[in-house]
Amino acid sequence: MTTIKLHNTKTRRKEVFTPLNPDNVRMYVCGPTVYDRAHLGNARPVVVFDVLFRLLRHVYGPGHVTYVRNFTDVDDRINETAQKRRAAGAPGTLEELITERSDETIGWYHDDMDELGALRPTHEPRATAYIGAMIAMIEDLIASGHAYAAEGHVLFAVDSYSNYGALSGRTVEDMIAGARVEVAPYKRNPMDFVLWKPSSDDLPGWDSPWGRGRPGWHIECSAMAQELLGASFDIHGGGIDLQFPHHENEIAQSCCAHPEGGFASVWMHNEMLLVEGRKMSKSLGNFFTVRDLLDQGVPGEVIRYVFLMTHYRKPMDWTAEKAAQAEATLRKWYALAAQAPDGTAPSQTAIEALCDDLNTHAVLSECHQLALAGDAAALRGTMQLVGLMQAEGPAWAAAPVVDLSAQSDRLAAARDTAMQTKDFTQVDRLKAALLAAGVEVRMSKAGVELVPGPDFDPARLEGLE
């Protein structure tokens, strides 16, 4: 059996992955709050854990992996949209408008993530379908002295769980000093967090022993993981921004409600996303959604490829240049890989790279080697291992691939001559002709690269001497 090694946030080490039950490898990943289109940063964990899902399916068999990714559909921002729509005269009750908003957003999420080549998880539970399980878990926590009800709220008592903070390596004192904790008179310790809170009449709510209310966000994941995967399972994943407090709180709730289980054995966190070297934010004007990119004509596979270029535990910088490179590379690979039948085996080198804590960058390097060697079958299998080259390849890559090697050789030769003669007339003339034909010209010490752009017109290159 292939050995998979994964970096475990809990132990801060790369460890050999040993599933609790190889016949049913179980993974939970925190999913989106469905109030709007997914932005590019939201897509990173989707691709990272899709790669892991694919690897686990490859190693243990597609029928032996259970992947759960939830939808958080209890959220003030969803309610806000529904309230606005009702105020604007939309038909239906507030509940119906809330459901409508969640359905709409889940539909978008599926459309966008499908474009990135992400497989649908085995289960995609909605929080609102598990309210009963959440209430039962909260009752257990109160009964065992880990939670208390106060003023319509139920709070988890962090002092009741001595391991609180172990995942992120913080003490409760550090957390109080560093966190934006909500100070409330009914909290025994400022770090105590909400399991249940009251709902006003104009907001969705469920009847509970503590009055009409709704669950806190953290308890949602604990309850859904318990219901679908049990008290002990293999992998829990999510973005690094969720490590504290969300994951710390999930552990506290689950381990106290189910002390017989260990909750997740391995914790995995992907690093954040940057755009052109800066944090993506609305105020910097570099905020965009996956759909924005798709609408601009950036294919989903290109977005996926750019994600795969960077190891998941490193910050990833999205740049337009990387996207252009990715597209040019994928065009070449698709043209070659299309010559091989579907379902070919991936290269062993690539499998080993992926087994080494998801070294996707090395998998892409291996694809480059396979492409250079003209090994269509192994290239196709390896691309498919990481979710590229699904079926026959997308329509955008099916456009005839143009061979510009003659032109790039000519330009490189002209440049070499010009370096000697200091006369760049011929270089400039060739460059101008290529640009006029819609070809991007990249010249560096390493050589000349020609990338056909969207307006590329091969006819304009004919007769170019």
Site for Zn ion in 217-236 (CB under 5 A): 221
CB of 79 to Zn ion, least distance (A): 20
Residue 121 has a CB neighbour count (10 Å cut-off) of: 21
State in angstroms the smallest separation of the CB of 457 from Zn ion. Answer: 50
Q: Which is nearer to Zn ion, 197 or 415 (CB)?
A: 197
Contact call for residues 394 and 43 (beta carbons, < 8 A)? no
We find the least distance from the C-beta atom of residue 217 to Zn ion, in angstroms, to be 8
The two tokens of residue 295 are: 């609408």
CB contact set of 440 (below 8 Å; sequence gap of 6+): 324, 450, 451, 452, 453
- Whichever of 59 and 224 has its CB closer to Zn ion, that residue is 224
**How many other C-beta atoms are found inside a 10 Å radius of the C-beta of residue 210?**
20
Secondary structure of residue 26 in the 3-state scheme: strand
Structure tokens at 123: 């289960």
- With respect to Zn ion, which residue has the nearer C-beta, 170 or 269? 269
Residue (221 or 308) nearer to Zn ion, CB: 221
Give residues 422-461 in contact with Zn ion (rule: CB under 5 A). Answer: none
CB of 272 to Zn ion, least distance (A): 17
Bridge partners of 237, per DSSP, are 29, 268
CB of 125 to Zn ion, least distance (A): 11
Closer CB to Zn ion, 221 or 385, in the complex? 221
Min CB(237)–Zn ion separation in Å: 10
Residue length of the chain: 465
CB of 228 to Zn ion, least distance (A): 13
3-state secondary structure of 186: coil
Q: Which of residues 183-222 bind Zn ion (CB under 5 A)?
A: 221
CB 379 within 8 A of CB 335: no
**Nearest CB to Zn ion, comparing residues 50 and 115:** 50
Q: What is the number of other CB atoms lying within 10 angstroms of the CB of residue 307?
A: 27
Tell the smallest beta-carbon distance from residue 198 to Zn ion (Å). 23
Q: Of the two residues 253 and 359, which places its CB atom closer to Zn ion in the complex? A: 253
Q: How far apart are CB 459 and Zn ion at their closest, in Å?
A: 55
How far is the CA of 289 from the CAs of 38, 74, 86, 109, 189, in angstroms?
6, 22, 26, 11, 39
CB 25 within 8 A of CB 58: no
The nearer residue to Zn ion, 250 or 327, going by C-beta atoms, is 250
> What residues numbered 17-56 form the site for Zn ion, per CB under 5 A?
30
* Min separation Cβ 385 and Zn ion, Å: 28
> Hey, what amino acid is at 330?
L
Residue with token string 């143009």: 402
* Closest-CA residue to 58 (of 34, 85, 25, 33): 25
For Zn ion, the closer CB: 142 or 221: 221
Question: For residues 71-110, which are near Zn ion according to CB under 5 A?
Answer: none
User: Pseudo-torsion of CA 13, 14, 16, 17, nearest 10°?
Assistant: 90
Pick 264 or 389: Cβ nearer Zn ion: 264
Q: Find the helix packing angle between 40-60 and 94-115, rounded to 10°.
A: 60
> Nearest CA to 158 among 181, 135, 136, 139?
181
Q: Return d(Cα 317, Cα 247) in angstroms, integer.
A: 25
Site residue total, Zn ion (CB under 5 A):
2
Residues contributing to the site for Zn ion (CB under 5 A): 30, 221
